[in-house]
């Protein structure tokens, strides 16, 4: 055979193998779908998270897995899907751009004078005395967030009914303004609003018309897909959370393309890959809900595992890998360090990332409930790239999605599985 013809045949043979590993079109399709308006930020008030979970059940089934089950649990969570109006000296502020809500804030209606904290000459006794003066009756106390965090004993007092006469608090946070849900399992006495410094600077009064709705015992579910391997005495587990922040009022939602449609799409494509390339061990692909409500879905699974935790050979938690930083951030359990050494060897050999940057283990994603139970696991998150600036903002949408890290993450994981 002519050598040129042989080369063409070899290229045609190799091409499908390369394309058959990671699946960028499917990855992009899942990211785009999950970050669409259909799921309203995959939150709780409008059932967006559960609608997204049903979509994932269908996607796992289409991927060819052997079994898909739903693991139901319930949470208490504060939400903001009703009225969301705030005016500063008569100027209407934009939800998600100029302001957002502290996750455990009640709703608030009314007009209020402002009292700005003097952070350079901070004197709690003087503040308490000032707030008792008639001109500051029912005022909103304004302060930079990180300063309030350093002096949380004082500001906790300002949050409590009967302690101080202020109506609520406004914490300033630099743009782009962020939103959180982690500690929304309760509601404090007084409203707390995040506002950009420029939106509140020099303002004398604010008017608010903001609704909250507290959901008691709200039902959610984890989506668990299984691909059976040749051996059933141990398994690999791949996790990603599919819930996100949901709504901020009636018109604004947080799409969460990077956080964490990117990780969820990755485990869908991994499931499709291993359904076609049968592994040596059972594989579980778990899409968790309730992560943005303080790891509630993964904690529930760790307490009620569908496979004994001691049978997990290694667990990969994939969160926010939709970015382009050439350095891959990781966290490992103590038991996962042997695996981390292998990942470093593979990465050094293949050059998927410039380096793997291992940080201190923290309760910042769904690997943590497993790490505390001595499961060998690693957390993969691509930080500080172009997409990271939009973390927990309305700009983390498909328009700003970045896809660079998907392929190297996929290849790093599949290479690891073949060698571990």
- What mean pLDDT is predicted for residues 168-185? 95
Instruction: Band the pLDDT of 21: cuts 50, 70, 90.
Output: confident
**Cα separations in angstroms, 223 against 52, 66, 78, 331, 339:** 10, 13, 23, 24, 26
Least reliable range by pLDDT among 5-19, 199-213, 323-337, 380-394: 5-19
- For residues 163 and 104, membership in a common domain is answered with yes
Would you state the pLDDT for residue 22?
79
- For residues 240 and 327, membership in a common domain is answered with yes
Asked whether the predicted pLDDT for residue 19 surpasses 50, the reply is no
3-state per-residue secondary structure call for the chain: CCHHHHHHHHHHHHHHHHHCCCCHHHHHHHHHHHCCHHHHHHCCCCCHHHHHHHHHHHHHHHHCCCEEEEEEEEEEEEECCCCEEEEECCEECCECCCEEECCCCCCEEEEEEEEECCCCCCCHHHHHHHHCCHHHCCCEEEEEHHHHHHCHHHHHHHHCCCCCCCCEEEEECCCCCCCCCCCCCCCCCCCEEEECHHHHCCCCEEEEEECCEEEEEEEEEEEEEEECCCEEEEEEEEEEECCCCEEECCCEEECCHHHHHHHHHHHHHHHHHHHHCCCCEEEEEEEECCHHHCCHHHHHHHHCCCCCHHHEEEEEEECCCCCCCCEEEEEECHHHHHHHHHHHHHHHHHCCCCEEEECCCCCCCCCHHHHCCCCCEEEEECCCCCCHHHCCCCCCCHHHCCCCCHHHHHHHHHHHHHHC
Residue after which a domain boundary falls, among 162, 179, 210: 210
- Give the largest CA-CA distance in the chain: 97
Would you state the pLDDT for residue 5?
41
- For residues 260 and 198, membership in a common domain is answered with no
CB 93 within 8 A of CB 205: no
How far apart CA 289 and CA 221 sit, in angstroms, is 6
Give the total number of structural domains in the chain: 2
Asked whether the predicted pLDDT for residue 13 surpasses 80, the reply is no
Closest CA to 168 of 99, 81, 121: 99
Would you state the pLDDT for residue 190?
97
- For residues 197 and 258, membership in a common domain is answered with no
Would you state the pLDDT for residue 48?
97
How far apart CA 353 and CA 327 sit, in angstroms, is 6
- For residues 278 and 186, membership in a common domain is answered with no
Would you state the pLDDT for residue 2?
44
CATH of the domain at 61: 3.40.630.10
Residue after which a domain boundary falls, among 155, 177, 210: 210
- For residues 172 and 200, membership in a common domain is answered with yes
- For residues 143 and 279, membership in a common domain is answered with no
- For residues 334 and 406, membership in a common domain is answered with yes
User: What torsion, rounded to 10 degrees, do the Cα atoms 130, 131, 133, 138 define?
Assistant: 150
pLDDT tens-digit series, residues 378-404:
999 999 999 999 999 999 999 999 999
Residue after which a domain boundary falls, among 191, 210, 229: 210
Whether 5 is in a domain gets the answer no
- For residues 88 and 156, membership in a common domain is answered with yes
* 176 cis-preceded (ω within 30 degrees of 0): yes
Whether 15 is in a domain gets the answer no
pLDDT tens-digit series, residues 342-362:
999 999 999 999 999 999 999
Would you state the pLDDT for residue 32?
98
Whether 16 is in a domain gets the answer no
Whether 3 is in a domain gets the answer no
Whether 336 is in a domain gets the answer yes
Closest CA to 339 of 407, 241, 413: 413
Quick one: tokens of 326? 């050439």
**Per-position b or e across 7-24, b if 16+ CB within 10 A of its CB:** eeeeeeeeeeeeeeebbe
Quick one: what percent of the chain has pLDDT higher than 90? 94
Would you state the pLDDT for residue 358?
97
pLDDT tens-digit series, residues 262-287:
999 999 999 999 999 999 999 999 99
- For residues 71 and 92, membership in a common domain is answered with no
For helices 406-419 and 337-350, the axis angle rounded to 10 degrees is 120
How far apart CA 108 and CA 83 sit, in angstroms, is 10
Other Cβ atoms closer than 10 A to 110: 13
CATH of the domain at 181: 3.50.30
Give the residue numbers spanning the domain of 410: 22-75+216-419
233: Cβ contacts below 8 Å, ≥ 6 apart: 311
Asked whether the predicted pLDDT for residue 8 surpasses 70, the reply is no
* Mean of all residue pLDDT scores within the chain: 94
For helices 263-276 and 406-419, the axis angle rounded to 10 degrees is 40
pTM over 0.85: yes
Q: Please identify which residue in the block is written with the tokens 């984890």.
A: 222
Question: Computed from CA positions of residues 270, 275, 281, 282, in that sequence, does the dihedral angle turn out positive or negative?
Answer: positive
């Amino acid at each position: 055979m002519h050598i040129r013809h042989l080369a063409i045949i070899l290229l045609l043979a190799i091409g499908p193998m390369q394309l058959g590993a990671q699946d960028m079109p499917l990855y992009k399709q899942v990211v785009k779908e999950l970050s669409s308006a259909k799921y309203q930020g995959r939150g709780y008030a409008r059932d967006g998270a559960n609608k997204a979970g049903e979509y994932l059940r269908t996607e796992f089934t289409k991927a060819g897995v052997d079994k898909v089950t739903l693991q139901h649990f319930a949470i208490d969570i504060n939400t903001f899907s009703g009225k969301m109006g705030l005016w500063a000296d008569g100027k209407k502020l934009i939800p998600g751009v100029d302001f957002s809500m502290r996750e455990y804030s009640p709703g608030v209606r009314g007009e209020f004078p402002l009292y700005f904290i003097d952070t350079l000459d901070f004197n709690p006794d003087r503040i308490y005395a000032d707030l008792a003066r008639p001109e500051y009756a029912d005022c909103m106390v304004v302060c930079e967030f990180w300063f309030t965090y350093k002096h949380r004993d004082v500001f906790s007092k300002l949050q409590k009914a009967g302690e101080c006469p202020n109506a609520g608090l406004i914490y300033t946070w630099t743009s782009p303004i962020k939103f959180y849900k982690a500690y929304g399992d309760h509601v404090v006495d007084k409203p707390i609003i995040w506002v950009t410094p420029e939106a509140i600077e020099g303002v004398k009064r604010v008017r608010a018309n903001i609704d909250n709705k507290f959901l008691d015992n709200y039902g959610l579910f984890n989506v668990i897909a299984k691909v059976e391997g040749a051996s059933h005495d141990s398994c690999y587990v791949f996790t990603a959370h599919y819930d996100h922040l949901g709504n901020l009022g009636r018109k604004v939602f947080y799409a969460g393309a990077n956080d964490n449609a990117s990780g969820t799409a990755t485990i869908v494509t991994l499931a499709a890959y291993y359904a076609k390339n049968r592994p040596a061990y059972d594989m579980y692909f778990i899409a968790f809900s309730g992560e943005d409500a303080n790891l509630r879905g993964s904690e529930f699974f760790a307490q009620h595992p569908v496979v004994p935790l001691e049978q997990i050979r290694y667990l990969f938690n994939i969160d926010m890998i939709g970015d382009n930083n050439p350095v891959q951030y990781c966290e490992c359990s103590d038991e996962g360090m042997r695996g981390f050494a292998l990942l470093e060897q593979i990465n050094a050999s293949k050059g998927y990332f410039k380096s793997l940057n291992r940080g201190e283990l923290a309760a910042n994603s769904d690997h943590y409930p497993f790490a505390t139970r001595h499961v060998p696991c690693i957390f993969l998150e691509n930080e500080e790239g172009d997409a990271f600036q939009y973390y927990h903002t309305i700009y983390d949408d498909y328009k700003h999605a970045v896809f660079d890290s998907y392929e190297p993450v996929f290849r790093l994981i599949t290479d690891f599985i073949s060698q571990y």
